[in-house]
Structure 1
Amino acid sequence: MSTQRKTRTENTHHVVVLGAGYAGMAAAVQLAARTGKRSGAVRVTVVNAGERFTERMRLHMTAAGHPLDSLSVPEMLAGTGARFIRGWVTAVDAGARTVRIDDERVLSYDTLVYALGGTADTSAVPGADDHAYTLNGAQDAQLLADRLNALDGEGGGGSEGDGGRERGTGTVVVVGTGLTGVESAAEIAEQYPRLDVVLLGGEEPGAAMNAKAAAHVRAALDRLGVRVRSGVRAAKVLAGSVELAGGESIAADAVLWTGGTRVAPLAAAAGLEVDEHGRVVTDRALRSVSHPEVYVVGDAAAIRQGYGVMHGTCQGGMPTGVHAALSIDRVLMGKQPKPFRFGYYHTPVSLGRGDAVVQFTRPDDSPRRICLVGAVAVRYKETVTASPWPTYGRMKKMPASGAFWPRGGRFTRIRGDK
């Protein structure tokens, strides 16, 4: 009997998924659902630093004092047959096909799904790593929320030149005029109207949108009292200020850094081929071009489409995870994986709890003429950025002939095995 068990284990194909974000969870749940009925043939293991699932695209809400539901990765995996291991990944040996975790455990894999994602790039500007807050996770967002609460509680009155608006004693500087910066500045200004919120970066907020959508973004920021400084670059972050490239200094009691992302150097250290940003270069099936037994999804991947390399968003992350699962399943059944094809659909941006913009886009992410603003945009965005639990629940129950992921607030069925 022991020999039979050993033979069965040796014949089991072990898939290890590193990272339980949007892309990693999509890959794990989808693959486990597709292979779960093949008793003993495939084993899926998910490795993540914590048990909590991080809703990254809603962390600006946590930072502004709006608590999110605590979603458990093990609970989300329940019923799929996938195993969960909590731990920090410290090294990947692509040659030996092993993964080392911080407690010195070593996991062997036959196929690896690399989904470790990215974090705020605080290394590019001196002082940002030491003095700026980030939205890398729920704990980081809560640290900023605690700081904002403390600043707001210090009180203080309005000053001449601010229109008589009553303010606290603090100034919050949000660095980065991209979508995360805009959402964060608006959320903080709405929740803490007594604080002075400054949004600064190289581009005008909403620069990638059409004229109507961009105008609505700017009008909302003006309404909320956010001071926008575009066309400037942060050169240094100090304990109480942000120095700009031109020499100007802006006082800051709290700095939120949203100016760009970086990926972990683990992939490069493992010997995987990476691009100039450290992202793993993939083929059309999302396999590493240097190690085809490694699939790379989400922000960690440099995925080339006809319009260029995809940029990291949840909109693209979950489909990459689903496609990786489909590709692995096809290979295990002796078939060739199909090429990944993806086109952008929309850019939803919240502007506080009662306002939003949804810019519909062409597949290459360039803006269409159509956009939604105001209350209808709020309802749309809350639908497409709501808890991913129902999405993963559908994946668990899906038939063996298809896959699901949300597109524009709808669940689209993708036939991937014909």
Structure 2
Amino acid sequence: MSVPAELIHGAAEVEVTPRGIRPHRLPAWVREQFPDGQLLAMESQTSGVRVVFHTTATRVEMVTCPTWIAYPGADRPRGRIDVYADGELAVRDELSGGDRIEVDLATGRSSLHPGPPHATTIEGLPAGRHRIEIWLPHNESVELLDLRADAPIEVDDADQPLWVHHGSSISQGSNALAPSEIWPAVAARRAGVRLRNLGLGGSALVDPFLARVIRDVPADVISVKLGINVVNLDGMRVRTFVPAVHGFLDTIRDGHPDVPLLLISPLFAGIHEHTPGPGAIDPGSIGTGQVRFLATGTPGDTALGRLTLEVIRRELRSLAERRAADKNLHYLDGTGLYGPADAAGLPLPDGLHPSPEAHQLIGRRFAEYAFTSDGPFAPAGTGPRGADNPESDRRGRTVIELRDIP
């Protein structure tokens, strides 16, 4: 049978397809209102989306059909599915097959190459009841075709705090090794909270519709990391950026007037610290196996309000100070998560996105800052491992009978 929608966490909704269901991180009204190719590609990639349930099964199998984007001359690793049993990593499964969308970086032309489904299996589970959490790939879209187990499953009804986070490709997990190792997932697992990840590669652009999405979803704590994509795109000036951020925060506050809200400025990225965008792919890096990004603006050209990361941080800090009446609004300088010294020890492989090791570092630092007893999200980071705690509340169980594994 197709994966029951009740088991899917971290998605806005699911789309029924001829083969199964496809989780989406943004609701249909956004996709219809602004069907931008980059936005649609990123929101359908399942960063932070999990299939979660309890079962006494000893073997579980999930069949998916991934869709992945390949760039000839710029090899990128395939996505992975991480399976946790009772909070411990049991399977890390690199995807194979699926539908490949091949994009020519030089011309922008794309072509579709269909492929076979992929099966992820967890077996050898000891006798007893287990909490299974399947993290879907952060960098590929997936259709969920089939879920099979040798015992019934129960819907997970744990009531951990919900953290909603919005950011750029760094928040989506670019360059991370696996879906549970993107920095927001690292932080959420350490803090014991549920994650709704609205990290969208190339699309953290202070869009009003994203603010409305955050306004309308349940949330116990909220964070927004803004700036890097605005500089990459060279999409605003100081005069338009600052009022846009005010409006973004105002819209969120319309739905969450008292929820702890953390505004995060950009992490360190040397190419844009003092040089405006637009950002671009270094043509000399195509075909080398490691694409690199560069800034095409003029260093120091900020007199007319052009934005660099240094300017963004200055303006966001000032904006937060002017909103001091909002006692639940907090500001975090992104270089506290990843700064110049970190770039020297753990350099950005492509000049823009953190390495797998840096994702771990950023996630740990964020959890230690935000979710500890004196942090802005302190009430949310409670309980023994929270979402990973197999002894979570079990009242009102919903049991689902799946087809037995042959």
Query: TM-score when scaled to structure 1?
Result: 0.26
Q: Which protein has greater RCO, CA pairs closer than 8 Å, 6+ apart? A: 2
Query: TM-score when scaled to structure 2?
Result: 0.27
Task: Compare CA radii of gyration and give the structure with the larger one.
Answer: 1
